[in-house]
């Protein structure tokens, strides 16, 4: 500043040329000192601004660089995206992701594509040479050659040092238990997207959106825990495979349901497939018969008929119905399999599995009441679970008296077996209908979901009837000592070419254990079991599905933590007495 002040008095000493220039440029009366100060000030502001921007940018880089780093690592691989692990209720792995190398080519960078094809097919004998040549000699930037190769093959190909050939690590779904939990868990396609079962459910519940956003690449996803118990599943499957072989049935299926929470502890539909090899799933004989198939369940439906009558209060356990002669309705005639030709009480109708008796009960209740009851029990609407595959029940379009008569003993209405299991579970557990689930559920959640459909006393009477049926009725072969099983059998004639077949039947068995304090409901279903000499040439449920059910209970009850109690009194003392007391 002082320098500027010094120059001012000597302004007069300037040469005239410079004075002229100055007066031309700035005008005559400008204070150059003030001007210079203003310029310095401007320069300071400009520099501060520039350095400020640089500093701010540096800070920004410092913050942003960190959050970008993991993305840069991931983009190198992971084309097929990660999925959460699936565990059973005890934490056993049912499905997990493993990393496998996949082979790709960049045709533009390949020097000699014939040589490359030759060397690759030498290492990978199952590679189609013609197709590989077509892909590698094209002008594209990127082609897949083979997904999922072994580390040994990777090493061999790597050693050949072919330009334009590379590997990407991909997630591959691995099902360590093979076919044991096939239908329930479903499977994925080559890009690790769920296309069936729980895997598909996972995708439709947010996982697909995560994939789209490119976020589901890391393994840090919380595993999904199912209600399934792998040990019970294995025991059930093992027995069903044995039963299917023994009775030469075309299919066998089974469910174990926790009646208190609606959790599906095991579900098997034989024949099944290995999810590691999903091509098998395309075979139509391997469908999941429990959710995608609908069947006339046969006599197990009498449980609904009897429960409806008892719950209405119009019928008691001592009521009796005429079963002396066959029931004629129009041109139809209804027979009993074990005809007694006398008047039967309600427990007798249940234990002799009398079609006539069940039909008469339903007729006494009326068509509308029957229909309303079955709707309340969830038998007329499609049952939706986590599994994407579900089938709509086949309900008669015009529901007349004849329909009520046949549906009373389980013909004329086709439901998904899982649906029937849900309904019977509600009859057993005190009268609460709980939608079944494949995911782990607590008692509190189940209580919130459940809705009362019948009175607790009716449920106790139904349990008495189920137990009585094992003690004296058609399900005697399932009486495993110590577990106090109750059960109802069902044998439905199959429809072949629009007519009921005499030889082809579907047998099923619903078992509740223990009958006095129900915990688990078991369904066993056999499709077309054959008559065998050791079953006295019968193919009804009591000779095939019931012994299978007994064998399954004996194996799974210890696994499910049911304490065996020997020397329990018969059903009329243990269960029926409590009903009478509470009244």
Partner 1 sequence: MIVRLLNFVVIGALVLAAAYVYRIKFDSTVQAERLAKLRTEVRRERDSIAALRAKWGELDNPERIEQLAKRFLKLKPVEPTQFDTLDHLPDPPPDYMRPGAKDPIGGMIEGLDEPVGVTGSIAEPNPAGAPNQAAPSPAAASPDAGASNTGAAAQ
Please list the active-site residues: 299
Q: Does 549 bind partner 1 (CB under 8 A)?
A: no
d(CA 433, CA 130): 60
Question: Which of the residues 563 through 582 are near partner 1 (CB under 8 A)?
Answer: 563-564, 566
Q: Does 470 bind partner 1 (CB under 8 A)?
A: no
**Segment interacting with partner 1 (CB under 8 A) among 19-27, 170-178, 413-421, 489-497:** 170-178
- Cα–Cα distance measured from residue 133 to residue 121, given in angstroms and rounded to the nearest whole number: 10
CB 510 within 8 A of CB 525: no
**Do the Cβ atoms of 434 and 426 come closer than 8 Å?**
yes
- Answer for the pair 188, 195: CB distance below 8 angstroms, yes or no: yes
Q: Please identify which residue in 41, 52, 70, 400 interacts with partner 1, judged by CB under 8 A.
A: 70
Task: Count CB atoms within 10 A of the CB of residue 379.
Answer: 23
**5 or 220, CB closer to partner 1?**
220
Could you tell me which stretch among 230-238, 486-494, 509-517, 521-529 binds partner 1 (CB under 8 A)?
230-238
Query: Whole-angstrom Cα distance, residue 67 to residue 342?
Result: 83
The residues, ordered by sequence, that sit 6+ positions from 27 with a Cβ below 8 Å of its Cβ are none
Note the Cα 326 to chain centre separation in Å: 45
Instruction: Choose among 517, 473, 501: nearest CA to 302.
Output: 473
Q: Pull the structure tokens for residue 329.
A: 């309705």
DSSP per residue over 439-470, as a string? B---HHHHHHH-EE-S-HHHHHHHHHHHHHHH
Select the span of 176-184, 195-203, 250-258, 514-522 touching partner 1 (CB under 8 A). Answer: 176-184
> Does 271 interact with partner 1 (rule: CB under 8 A)?
no
Least Å from the CB of residue 485 to partner 1: 11
* Angstrom distance (rounded) from CA 251 to CA 89: 27
Report the site for partner 1 in 178-217 (rule: CB under 8 A). Answer: 178, 180
**C-beta of 546: minimal distance to partner 1 in Å?**
18
Instruction: Tell which one of 478, 492, 554, 571 touches partner 1 (CB under 8 A).
Output: 554
CA distances from residue 127 to 146, 152, 157, 164 in whole angstroms, order as listed: 8, 16, 13, 18
Residue 182 or 351 having the CB closest to partner 1: 182
Nearer of residues 19 and 565 to partner 1, judged by Cβ? 565
* 380 and 294 Cβ atoms separated by less than 8 Å: no
Residue-wise DSSP of 545-578? HHHHHHHHHHHHHHHTTPPP--SPPPHIIIIIHH
Of the ranges 97-105, 290-298, 306-314, 377-385, which one interacts with partner 1 (CB under 8 A)? 97-105
Query: What is the rounded CA–CA span in Å between residue 474 and residue 337?
Result: 11
Strand partners, 168: 102
Query: Sign of torsion, CA 531 358 305 311?
Result: negative
Distances in Å between the alpha carbon of 24 and those of 19, 27, 28, 87?
9, 6, 8, 90
Taking CB under 8 A as the binding criterion, the range among 177-185, 197-205, 386-394, 522-530 that sits at the site for partner 1 is 177-185
The reply on whether position 482 binds partner 1 by CB under 8 A is yes
For partner 1, the binding residue among 79, 93, 127, 168 (CB under 8 A) is 93
The correct pick among 131, 148, 174, 191 for binding partner 1 (CB under 8 A) is: 174
Q: Give the count of beta carbons closer than 10 Å to the beta carbon of residue 44.
A: 10
Q: Are strands 224-225 and 86-87 parallel, antiparallel or unpaired?
A: parallel
User: Which of the stretches 25-33, 437-445, 477-485, 507-515 binds partner 1 when contact is defined by CB under 8 A?
Assistant: 477-485
How many C-beta neighbours within 10 Å does residue 216 have?
A: 22
Using CB under 8 A, which of 247, 483, 509, 520 touches partner 1? 483
Q: What is the 3-state secondary structure (H, E, C) of 212-224?
A: HCCCCCCCCCCCE
Closest distance between partner 1 and the C-beta of residue 219, in Å? 5
Report in angstroms how near the CB of residue 74 gets to partner 1 at its nearest: 9
Verify binding: residue 96, partner 1, rule CB under 8 A: yes
Give whichever of 553 and 571 is closer to partner 1, judged by the CB atom: 553
Which of 503, 477, 476 shows the shortest CA–CA distance to 492? 503
**Least separation in angstroms between CB 287 and partner 1:** 22
Q: Does 3 bind partner 1 (CB under 8 A)?
A: no
Q: Is 163 or 481 the residue whose CB approaches partner 1 more closely?
A: 481
Q: Is 481 in the site for partner 1 (CB under 8 A)?
A: yes
Residue 288 · residue 416 · CB < 8 Å: no
| Shortest Cβ 330–partner 1 spacing (Å) | 50
Interatomic CA distance for residues 364 and 359, integer angstroms: 9
Is 97 one of the binding residues for partner 1 (CB under 8 A)?
A: yes
Asked if 234 touches partner 1 (CB under 8 A), the answer is yes
Q: Is 244 in the site for partner 1 (CB under 8 A)?
A: no
Q: How many chain residues touch partner 1 (CB under 8 A)?
A: 32
> Which residues make Cβ contacts (< 8 Å) with residue 22, sequence separation at least 6?
14
Q: Which helix (H) or strand (E) holds 426?
A: helix 417-428
Pick one of 387, 557, 574, 575: the residue that binds partner 1 (CB under 8 A): 557
Nearest approach, Cβ of 160 to partner 1 (angstroms)? Answer: 25
Contact 421, 434 (CB under 8 A): no
Q: Using CB under 8 A, which of the segments 92-100, 246-254, 299-307, 334-342 binds partner 1?
A: 92-100
Which residues have CB under 8 Å from 459's CB, separation 6+? 427, 428, 429, 430, 431
One of 56, 98, 129, 212 touching partner 1 (CB under 8 A):
98
Is residue 238 at the binding interface for partner 1, with CB under 8 A as the rule?
Answer: yes
Handedness of CA 210, 215, 217, 220 (dihedral sign): negative
Residue 234 or 360 having the CB closest to partner 1: 234
Using the contact rule CB under 8 A, the part of the chain among 3-11, 175-183, 296-304, 460-468 near partner 1 is 175-183
177 contributes a contact to partner 1 by CB under 8 A: yes
Closer of 78 and 416 to partner 1 (Cβ): 78
176 is a site residue for partner 1 (CB under 8 A):
yes
Query: For the window 302-331, what string marks contact with partner 1 as x by the rule CB under 8 A?
Result: ------------------------------
Q: Which residues bind partner 1 (CB under 8 A)?
A: 69-70, 73, 92-94, 96-99, 174, 176-178, 180, 219, 230-231, 234-235, 238, 480-483, 554-555, 557-558, 563-564, 566
């Amino acid at each position: 500043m002082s320098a500027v002040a010094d120059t001012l008095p000597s302004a007069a000493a300037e040469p005239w040329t410079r004075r002229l220039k100055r007066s031309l440029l700035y005008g005559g009366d400008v204070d150059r000192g003030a001007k210079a100060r203003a310029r310095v000030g401007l320069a300071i502001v400009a520099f501060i601004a520039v350095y400020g921007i640089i500093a701010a940018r540096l800070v920004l880089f410092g913050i942003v660089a960190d959050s970008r780093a993991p993305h840069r690592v991931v983009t190198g691989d992971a084309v097929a995206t990660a999925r959460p692990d699936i565990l059973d209720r005890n934490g056993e792995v049912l499905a997990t992701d493993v990393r496998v190398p996949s082979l790709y080519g960049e045709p533009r960078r390949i020097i000699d594509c014939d040589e490359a094809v030759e060397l690759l097919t030498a290492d990978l004998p199952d590679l189609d040479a013609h197709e590989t040549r077509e892909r590698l000699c094209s002008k594209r930037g990127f082609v897949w050659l083979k997904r999922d190769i072994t580390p040994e093959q990777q090493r061999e190909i790597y050693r050949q040092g072919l330009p334009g050939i590379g590997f990407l690590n991909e997630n591959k779904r691995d099902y360590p238990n093979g076919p044991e939990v096939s239908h329930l868990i479903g499977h994925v396609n080559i890009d690790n997207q769920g296309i069936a079962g729980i895997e598909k459910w996972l995708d439709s519940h947010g996982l697909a959106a995560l994939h789209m956003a490119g976020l589901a690449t890391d393994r840090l996803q919380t595993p999904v825990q199912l209600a399934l118990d792998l040990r019970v599943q294995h025991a059930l499957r093992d027995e069903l495979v044995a039963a299917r072989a023994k009775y030469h049935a075309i299919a066998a299926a089974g469910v174990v349901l926790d009646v208190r929470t609606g959790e599906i502890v095991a579900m098997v539909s034989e024949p099944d497939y290995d999810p590691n090899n999903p091509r098998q799933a395309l075979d139509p004989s391997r469908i999941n018969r429990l959710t995608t198939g609908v069947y006339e369940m046969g006599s197990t439906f009498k449980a609904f008929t009897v429960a409806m009558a008892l719950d209405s209060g119009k019928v008691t356990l001592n009521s009796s119905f005429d079963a002396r002669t066959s029931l004629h309705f129009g041109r139809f005639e209804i027979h009993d399999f074990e005809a007694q030709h006398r008047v039967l009480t309600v427990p007798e109708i249940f234990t002799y599995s009398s079609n006539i008796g069940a039909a008469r009960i339903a007729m006494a209740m009326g068509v509308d009441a029957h229909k309303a009851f079955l709707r309340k029990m969830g038998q007329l609407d499609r049952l939706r679970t986590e599994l994407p595959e579900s089938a709509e029940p086949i309900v008669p379009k015009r529901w007349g008296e004849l329909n009520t008569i046949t549906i009373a003993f389980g013909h004329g209405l086709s439901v998904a077996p899982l649906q029937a299991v849900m309904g019977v579970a509600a009859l057993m557990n005190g009268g609460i209908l709980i939608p079944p689930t494949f995911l782990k559920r607590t008692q509190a959640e189940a209580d919130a979901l459940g809705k009362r459909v019948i009175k607790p006393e009716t449920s106790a009477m139904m349990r008495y009837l189920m137990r009585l049926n094992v003690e004296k009725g058609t399900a005697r072969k399932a009486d495993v000592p110590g577990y106090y099983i109750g059960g109802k059998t069902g044998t439905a004639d199959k429809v072949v070419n629009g007519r009921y077949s005499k030889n082809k039947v579907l047998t099923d068995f619903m078992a509740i254990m223990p009958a006095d304090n129900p915990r688990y409901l078991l369904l066993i279903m056999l499709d077309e079991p054959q008559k065998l000499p050791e079953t006295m040439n019968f193919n009804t449920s009591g000779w095939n599905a019931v012994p299978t059910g007994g064998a399954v209970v004996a194996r799974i009850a210890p696994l499910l933590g049911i304490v065996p109690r020997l020397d329990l009194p018969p059903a009329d003392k243990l269960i029926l007495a409590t009903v009478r007391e509470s009244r």
